[in-house]
Amino acid sequence: DVKVTQSSRYLVKRTGEKVFLECVQDMDHENMFWYRQDPGLGLRLIYFSYDVKMKEKGDIPEGYSVSREKKERFSLILESASTNQTSMYLCATKRAGLNRETQYFGPGTRLLVL
């Protein structure tokens, strides 16, 4: 069974703090993704990675960075958190290759920046 876990379900941080969100998968998938989900805006892709140490910007990368040192782990970093980064953050993974492959999602991290 596919399993994608995220380090926290809920997180409260202060403006200016450095924030780490971790995602771990056990399916040996090559591709990993970070999205944020906001009411009325749907899912927006922040960054994705198609291999260890590789990363690509998504639609809204500003204010974020990522790290993928191991295949199973993909971290999202907020260098200096701001209130407009309060959101639900979703990690997803997918096997590389054909477009019929499914994306599998973690349970999400709801981040509040005060």
Is 36 an interacting residue with respect to other proteins (CB under 8 A)?
A: no
| Chosen residue from 8, 13, 58, 77 binding other proteins by CB under 8 A | 58
Is 1 an interacting residue with respect to other proteins (CB under 8 A)?
A: no
DSSP output for 20-60 = EEEEEESS--SEEEEEEEETTTEEEEEEEESSTT--EE-S-
d(CA 81, CA 95): 31
Is 106 an interacting residue with respect to other proteins (CB under 8 A)?
A: yes
Is 27 an interacting residue with respect to other proteins (CB under 8 A)?
A: no
Is 96 an interacting residue with respect to other proteins (CB under 8 A)?
A: yes
| Chosen residue from 46, 78, 85, 108 binding other proteins by CB under 8 A | 108
Is 15 an interacting residue with respect to other proteins (CB under 8 A)?
A: no
| Chosen residue from 1, 28, 40, 69 binding other proteins by CB under 8 A | 40
| Beta carbons of 106 and 56 less than 8 angstroms apart | no
CA 27 to each of CA 46, 70, 71, 80, 85: distance values in angstroms, whole numbers, following the listed order:
22, 13, 10, 32, 29
| Beta carbons of 41 and 60 less than 8 angstroms apart | no
Q: Which chain residues interact with other proteins by CB under 8 A?
A: 4, 31, 33, 40-43, 45, 48, 50, 58, 90, 92, 94, 96, 99-108
